Each structure stands twice: as structure tokens, then as C-alpha cells.
Structure 1
Amino acid sequence: MLARVVRGSISSPSRGVRRYSTVTGDVVGELETRGLVHTLTSRALRTHLSSPRTVYSGVDPSARSLHVGNLLPLLALAHFARCGHTPIVLVGGATGSIGDPSGRSTERNALDPDTLTANVAAIQSQLQMFFANVATFSGKEVGVRMLNNYTWMSGVSMLDFLGEVGRHARLTQMLARDSVASRMEGEGMSYTEFSYQLLQAYDFAHLHRSSGCTVQLGGSDQLGNISAGIDLIRRRMGAKAMQDDPAYGLTLPLLTTASGEKFGKSAGNAVWLEEALTSHLEFFQFFLRTPDADVARYLNALTLLSPGEIAAVLREHDQDRSKRKAQRVLADHMTRLIRGAEAAKTAQTLTQLVAATPDDVPQLLRQLDLHSAGSIVTRLREGEPMDVTRIAAETGLVKSRAEAKRLLSARGLYINNAPARVGLQEQMVQLPRGGKAAVIRAGKSALRIVHIA
């Protein structure tokens, strides 16, 4: 059962950490300033949020990690928490076995129970770290409830569900949802996917009744599912009762690049929150490579920096854009927020390593904490074969040993930032705490560190 309260602080409650007890700001205004409001289901939501409320957003455990494209709802929840509201993150242990059809042209592959359980646990850990880092940045304790909808859905029979939910659903409305209508133009969709909107509606109704949750957040593609939940609550309670106990939705825009591409991809691959899937260096550099045309929007949408702080960063950035001040602030802030302060420090040192001269590499290697460098470090035993092409392929620096050999011939494979020779042994750098290390680089920025303890 996944039902915990996540708490994070700078140090301890007695040293500068404050609790939220009342509303401390206009959260809708804050989100609008940052370009994070797409739709409000009612104008009354602004007044409703003048008192502390409980708000939720769901997370789909279809993979073992979230990616940066999943961040907007989490950041919106962080803003709600900082303004004095109580967030709930709902991990879809039940709905994840189906998969949300919104925004998809094909049905998801079903996950087996063991994989789904492992995904839920991994994502829970990422969420705990994220909200702990939010608390560290804010200097205030952030109480976030994490729930798993399998907890209440596992005991609901088909007959119970049809009686409680199905009788209130209207096929005309369900068929009109964008996630359904768009699929009807092609090969159609299964009944399993068609029923997803009812499951999400049931989640909202359950949280509304059991936790006093009155607001659901989601991406713009979630408006239909959110509206289904509000409609279910209204039909079960009656319009008059909803005047005293309302339900609302707020959707967030799709974050895109200046060229219109969906945010969150690097060379066609997702940028994952889990370090084993996207290294600290790759994560940091994803944000560091942000074009000038996008950086202001990303600072507003993705960081917890105040509008005044962002304006100051952009003014300094505009004085000399070649220094990429705004991108560096964005990369550092996002790495701290998702991976933590130690990871951000490591990523900065690794970024320096990428561009360092061969003479500067040894000093930077000695400064680096290899234990915090994560998946970018490959550990070998003394006496193992040190062929650089084999190591480049086996560590995933390149796709194959043949590619590594081609790069070696073309002087595109580097050891300690100098064109590589086949053997690594004589180029290893002695480390102050014992052991030896070397940097292997392919092209401009793909990098691995070989460490012999």
C-alpha cells in the first residue's frame, strides 16, 4: 500500500523550517504569471482557493521512471504547496495496468503485475526526493500525500463499479471526449481504454469524498478525464450539494520548444529523472543546451525561482549571451530540484571535464567525487583488458565496438580529451584517495569515466 506523507526540510523543524497553515499567495495568479494555466473549469476556482484546499494530480507508472515531460503537474503541485494548499500525488497502481489513452494513437502494452509494482515503488522514490528538494529550496516543510489508487480500486467488483459509476456515465459525453473521438477516426479503441475515463473519474470522486479533495490538476489533454470526474461528483451528490462541496479542474499547457516540438526529448530519447537511465551529466546538459528562444519560458515554467529572480537572470544573460548565464542557472536549478545539490555539483564538474584541455583533466578528475557521479562511471579491476574500443562499447558510450573503431581511426574518440590510442593503462590518472581514473569521450560531449579502485 502506497499511502505516505512526504516531508522535507532544510535541516530540522527548529532551524528555519516553517509550516504552511493558511493560504500565503494567489496560486492561480502565480501559475498564470509562469504560463502554466491552460483551462480553469470554473471562474469560481480563484475564490475557492482563497482558503486552504486539497488538490491532486495523477502519475502514470507505465515506466520505471518519470521523465522531464512529466514535470509540469508536479511543479504546479509544488506551487500549490508553497501557497498553503495540501497536494496529493496519486500513483496509478490500478489505472496503470490499463494506461491513459489521452494523446495516443495506439493502445499501450499491458504491464504484468510485478513490473507495475516495481514501477510504482521506483516512482514513489523519485517523488519523495522531488518534494524533499522543493522543501529544501523553499525553506518550508512541504506535506505531500502519496496515494496509490490500487488501494481502493482492488476491492471494487464489476457490479459495484457499474452501480456506483456506470449508471451516472453518459455515452454521448464519453464518445465526445477528444481522447476517444480522435481514435474513432482510425482503428478505434478497446473497451478497456474506453473505460479509462471512468476510472479516473472514480479516483476524483473517491478523493473528494474521503480526503476533501476539491481540485484536480492535469495536462491539457486531461481536460476530458477531469471533467468526467467533476460530472460524476455532481451526479452522485446533486447540483445543490455541490454548491457547498464543489469540485474543480485546472489544466496545464503542453510545453513545447520554440519550433513547436514537444518538450522533454533529447535526440529523440526521453530525458529520465532516474540517474541510471539519464546520467547527471546528460540531465544537466539537456537544460544547458536550451536555445535562447526557449530559456525564458523554461525558467518561468520549470523552476521555483521568483519572477523577480528570473528577470534579473535574463537581464544578465542579455548582456552577453555567449556566456549562457540563463541556461546555466536553468541547468543548475533543475538538477538540484530533481537530483539534489550533490548531483548538481557533480554535473558541473563533469561539464567542465567535457570542455577541459588535456592538461586540466587530471586536476578535475581529482576533484570529482566518483561515488556521486553515478552511471557515468565504469569500475574495472586491476589487470582487466584496457582496450578503449571495447570499453567504449560496453559502457554504452557508443553503440558498438565497430563504431568505436571508426571513431578511433577518425580521431573522434578521446582519452582525457586527447585523441585516443588503443591502450588506456598508461593514461590513467592517480587519484588522491587511491585508485586511478580516466575520461573517455566520443564526439563533443558523450563521456564516460573509467575507474580502477
Structure 2
Amino acid sequence: MYFSKRIGDVALKTVRERRANPFVDYIRDLSKRKPLQHSYPADLLNKYEAELKQLPPYVYAGFDPTAESLHVGNLLILVNLIRCQQFGLRPIALIGEFTASIGDPSGKKSERDLLGEDVVIHNSKKVSEQIRNVFANTCRSSEPPIVVNNNDWLGKVNSNIVNILYLFSHFQISLRDFFRECKSMQLGKMLRMKTIKSRLETGLSYTEFSYQTMQAYDWYTLSEKFGCRFQLGGYDQLGHLDFGAHYIKKRGNLSDNRFAAGVCFPILTDSAGNKLGKSEGGGALWLDPVKTSPFHFYQFFAQLHDDKAEELLLLFSLRGVEDLEELLQNHRNNLGKWIAQKELAMEVTKMVHGEDGLDSALRCTKAMFGSKKADLTGLSRSEILKLFRTTIDLKKEDISSMGDLANVTRQGNGKGYLLMQKGAFSVNGTKKVNPAESIEGVSSSLPALTDLTLVCWGKRDYRLVRWI
């Protein structure tokens, strides 16, 4: 049994059930889901299996709260923290409140705009809550993740420029001492990092350049407090992972085995090569139900191409690989029934939005696609508004006929009143072909929602009109 250390007066729970070789088992499972392309050190299983077996059973991933919500790319990291827990490892989610105020140069071609302190604090609270919710939705019977905030040890600088950095609640380090800590960080290695080299000619501030020192110190701090020497990162974090692992080794005694390692997950793309998670209109696929409704989140996965659905089901599902291979074979034998897509969409939607969110997504899906025409009568007002995200706001005194309504709701080429006469226009599920028909009683099919009207162009081009 591995006993936890303490943060202030709070004793962390122990990892009660541990496999003999949890990191080895986890990485083998990961390799079955998608060949491991990036790790530090490279070729982890073939060359460092013995070292992996000696690591304390803690794993961490960092999340910089640069927005008030995580997105689907972050979800892949969260899923793997949860999967690590299935293998007997204790997950740590580090909220990078301090580093979010600096900016990570990785994956960026230009300098980030600095966020205000109040914005970062707000984002940190929201992201922390989101992470806890995903774990709660997925593993109710397991211990919650350890959630820490690097502002607790990097951010407490007082106004007299004494520059004291508080390490958790009872360890303190001065700015002078912090720079002494950086003595082990070699400038040459920092400059060789790909993300740094690519920015030197176009411009890189010292603020963003120093990000790697902060992230390395974060990992070192977690290694001291928990013995955590394994990290999960995104596709652009390999350089930071390498740098941090070397720093941990250099800070250890010569007699210590300060082996540190980790894996980075590749960028996910759709079949066209576009970065996964970019929904129609260019917005990210957020985990926040206000930014991306459960219905739209569900539909993103439910409408993937077959090859992508298979790939992402293996990556995102918490089910065993053997079970998934059986399901995927059934999917391949029944192409057109969307078996993999439905399984993937249901699992990730429940993971992010819980049972209620999945139920709402399924009801909205049935309302929109369950029959030849949409039927919103079983949905609440809030569900309908989230379903459409945007509305066409109109004043009834400005619209007197169906032709007028067709004209203002038509997008693209062609006059609305002419196209409706060809049978291309429906209102609340009823085809309208007479431009002179009055709009009186237009919301009669939605009696409880008389200020909303559903219009449709063609078979599936739905828009929601809100009368103001």
C-alpha cells in the first residue's frame, strides 16, 4: 500500500488497489488503442519497463485555464487520467492558474494576449469544476482526482517585492531561491526546443520563454509532494515534458533513481485533415453545455465518418479494447447503421454532461431526426433554444405573409417567396407554397411556445424564428 503525503492539514487518500505494473499495463493498453508516437524517453516499453515498474503510482496532467471551459482536445487527456485510475494509478489534475497568466508558446505562431487576473481566477474555478464533474460522471465509485493549482506555489508575490512564493500552505520559497532552483535548467536545452526555435525570429517575449521553467518546476513540486514522476500531455508538450524530466533528475541526489517519464497524445484531425473539435462556423467543441449544447456535442460524434468513429472510439472509450474490437467488427459488418458513432457519442456525452445531458441530447436528436420532419413538442423552451444556438429575431408587425417569412429566413441565392412555391419551405412541419398566406397562428403547433416558430428549407435546413 502506498501512503499519501499531506498538503497542509488535508491528508490525501491512499491508492488502495494497485496492479503489480500499472504504468506498463496502462501504456500497453494505450498502444493497442493507437500506436504510441511521442513519449519521453522514446520507446518507453521496450527500453524502460524496469524503470516504469518502480515509479510511485501517481500521474498528472496540466490544464491552463486560458478559457472558462475545456474543449474536446482536453477531454482526451482527461479520459486518459481516468483510464490511469482504472489501472490503479492516482490521477492529479493541475490547474495552471499561474502559467495561464504567462502563456504557453507551444503551438502558437504569435504572442498570446495576457489575461486579466480576475479572468484567470474565474476560468480556474470553472475548469476545476468541469474536471471534477467529468470524473464524477464517469467513475462514481472511485476516489475523486487530486486537483491542485500552481498559483498556490508560484503566484503569491507580495506588494513589497519581497517576492515570496508560497509552496502549498506551509512551504515558502523566495524569488531569489526560485532562480537558484533554475540553476539546473540549461539555456541551451531551452533554446533547442522546437516551439522556442520557431518563435525566435518572429518574436518571443521573456514572459513566454520562461513558461518552460514554470512548468518544469510544477512537475518537480508534484514529484516532491506525491512522488509523481509521470505526466500526460498534448501533442505539442513533448519538449516541456523532456525539459521537466531532466530537471527532476538533476535535482535528485546521485544515489536516487529520479527516472521521470510521460506520453504525449497526437493532434486529432477529421477525415479532411482539419483539427478535430472545430465545429461548423469555426468555434471549438466546448465541454461547457452553454457554449456547446449536449445535443450539438452528441451530434459531432454521431456524424463522424466511419474511419474516424472507429479511431476515436478506441481513444475515448473507457471500455476494454477486447470489447471494443467486437463492437467495431459488428460496425464493419453493418456499415450504414452508425453503430460505432452512436456508441461513441453516447459514451462521451454521458462522460461530459452526465445522464441528464445525454437524455436531453437523445430527446433533441429524436425531435430533429426521429421522423421525416422535426417535432419539437416534447422539448422544453431552454432545450429548443440550446438546440438551435441562434435565432432569427423578428417583429410580427414587420411580417404579414408567408412570403415575407420566406424572404427573411432564406439564406443564399434565390428569392424566398419564389422558392417556396416549388415546395422548398415548411413552417412548423407544414409545407407552405402560397406567398400570400397570412402568418396568423403561425405558432399553433407549438402552443406552449407561441413566440417560437420552426422553419425549414429543403429536407433538413432548420432555423428557429423568435418573435420579439
* Structure-2 change in CA distance of 1:429 and 1:88 (3 Å): same
| SS of equivalent residue, structure 1 residue 152 | helix
User: 1:135-188 deviations in whole A, cap 9, x for unaligned?
Assistant: 04xxx31430111100110132542321112x112111000001101112x312
> Of 98, 103, 113, which residue of structure 1 is paired with 2:102?
98
**Alpha-carbon shift at residue 97 of structure 1 (Å):** 0.4
Distance 2:48 2:233 in 1: 15
* Structure-2 change in CA distance of 1:386 and 1:192 (3 Å): same
* Structure-2 change in CA distance of 1:71 and 1:358 (3 Å): closer
> Of 125, 128, 132, which residue of structure 1 is paired with 2:132?
128
> Of 386, 394, 399, which residue of structure 2 is paired with 1:375?
386
Q: Could you state the TM-score of these two structures normalised by the residue count of structure 2? A: 0.78
* Structure-2 change in CA distance of 1:158 and 1:31 (3 Å): same
Give the alignment of 1:47-58 within 5 angstroms. Answer: 47-50=50-53, 53-58=57-62
**Alpha-carbon shift at residue 408 of structure 1 (Å):** 5.3
Mapped pair 1:176 → 2:175: no
Structure 2 unaligned blocks of 5 or more: 1-6, 157-164, 166-173, 400-407
1:330: which partner in 2? Answer: 344
1:15: which partner in 2? Answer: none
User: 1:292-327 deviations in whole A, cap 9, x for unaligned?
Assistant: 121110100112122233223222222332221211
Mapped pair 1:306 → 2:306: no
| SS of equivalent residue, structure 1 residue 159 | helix
Greater C-alpha radius of gyration: 2
Letter in 2 for 1:202: Y
> Of 202, 215, 229, which residue of structure 2 is paired with 1:214?
229
**Alpha-carbon shift at residue 28 of structure 1 (Å):** 0.9
1:12: which partner in 2? Answer: none
Distance 2:398 2:234 in 1: 45
* Structure-2 change in CA distance of 1:255 and 1:111 (3 Å): same
Q: Is the 8 A contact 1:36 1:301 kept in 2?
A: no
Distance 1:250 1:289 in 2: 29
Distance 1:330 1:23 in 2: 28
Letter in 1 for 2:30: L
Distance 2:276 2:255 in 1: 42
Distance 2:427 2:11 in 1: 47
Distance 1:271 1:388 in 2: 36
Q: Which has the higher contact order (CA 8 A, sep 6+)?
A: 1
Distance 1:220 1:317 in 2: 29
Mapped pair 1:231 → 2:246: yes
Mapped pair 1:162 → 2:179: yes
2:307: which partner in 1? Answer: 293
User: 1:98-127 deviations in whole A, cap 9, x for unaligned?
Assistant: 121111101111100111111111111211
Distance 2:362 2:12 in 1: 29
Mapped pair 1:118 → 2:130: no
User: 1:214-253 deviations in whole A, cap 9, x for unaligned?
Assistant: 1111023111111111121122224432x1x432222222
1:22: which partner in 2? Answer: 18
User: 1:79-104 deviations in whole A, cap 9, x for unaligned?
Assistant: 10111100111111000001211111
* Structure-2 change in CA distance of 1:83 and 1:258 (3 Å): same
User: 1:306-354 deviations in whole A, cap 9, x for unaligned?
Assistant: 2233223222222332221211111111111111122112112212222
| SS of equivalent residue, structure 2 residue 76 | helix
* Structure-2 change in CA distance of 1:430 and 1:449 (3 Å): same
**Alpha-carbon shift at residue 71 of structure 1 (Å):** 1.6
Q: Is the 8 A contact 2:374 2:429 kept in 1?
A: no
Distance 2:385 2:11 in 1: 28
* Structure-2 change in CA distance of 1:437 and 1:247 (3 Å): same
**Alpha-carbon shift at residue 260 of structure 1 (Å):** 2.7
Give the alignment of 1:208-287 within 5 angstroms. Answer: 208-241=223-256, 243=257, 245-267=258-280, 268-287=282-301
Q: Is the 8 A contact 1:415 1:438 kept in 2?
A: no
Q: Is the 8 A contact 1:54 1:212 kept in 2?
A: yes
User: 1:346-387 deviations in whole A, cap 9, x for unaligned?
Assistant: 1122122223557772xx623x3556667338999xxx9558
| SS of equivalent residue, structure 1 residue 104 | coil
* Structure-2 change in CA distance of 1:417 and 1:109 (3 Å): farther
Give the alignment of 1:139-154 within 5 angstroms. Answer: 140-154=141-155
Distance 1:437 1:6 in 2: 53
Q: Could you state the TM-score of these two structures normalised by the residue count of structure 1? A: 0.80
* Structure-2 change in CA distance of 1:360 and 1:220 (3 Å): closer
> Of 365, 368, 374, which residue of structure 1 is paired with 2:377?
365
Q: Is the 8 A contact 1:407 1:442 kept in 2?
A: no
Q: Is the 8 A contact 2:39 2:238 kept in 1?
A: no
Bigger drift between 249-258 and 186-195 goes to 249-258
**Alpha-carbon shift at residue 76 of structure 1 (Å):** 1.1
* Structure-2 change in CA distance of 1:231 and 1:317 (3 Å): same
Distance 2:353 2:398 in 1: 30
Letter in 2 for 1:252: F
Letter in 2 for 1:325: I
Structure 1 unaligned blocks of 5 or more: 8-18, 390-399
Q: Percent of aligned pairs with the same residue?
A: 29
Bigger drift between 302-311 and 332-341 goes to 302-311
Distance 2:233 2:34 in 1: 14
Q: Is the 8 A contact 2:60 2:231 kept in 1?
A: yes
1:393: which partner in 2? Answer: none
| SS of equivalent residue, structure 1 residue 213 | coil
| SS of equivalent residue, structure 1 residue 220 | coil
Mapped pair 1:189 → 2:204: yes
Q: Is the 8 A contact 2:212 2:240 kept in 1?
A: yes
* Structure-2 change in CA distance of 1:337 and 1:445 (3 Å): farther
Distance 2:228 2:125 in 1: 24
Letter in 2 for 1:277: K
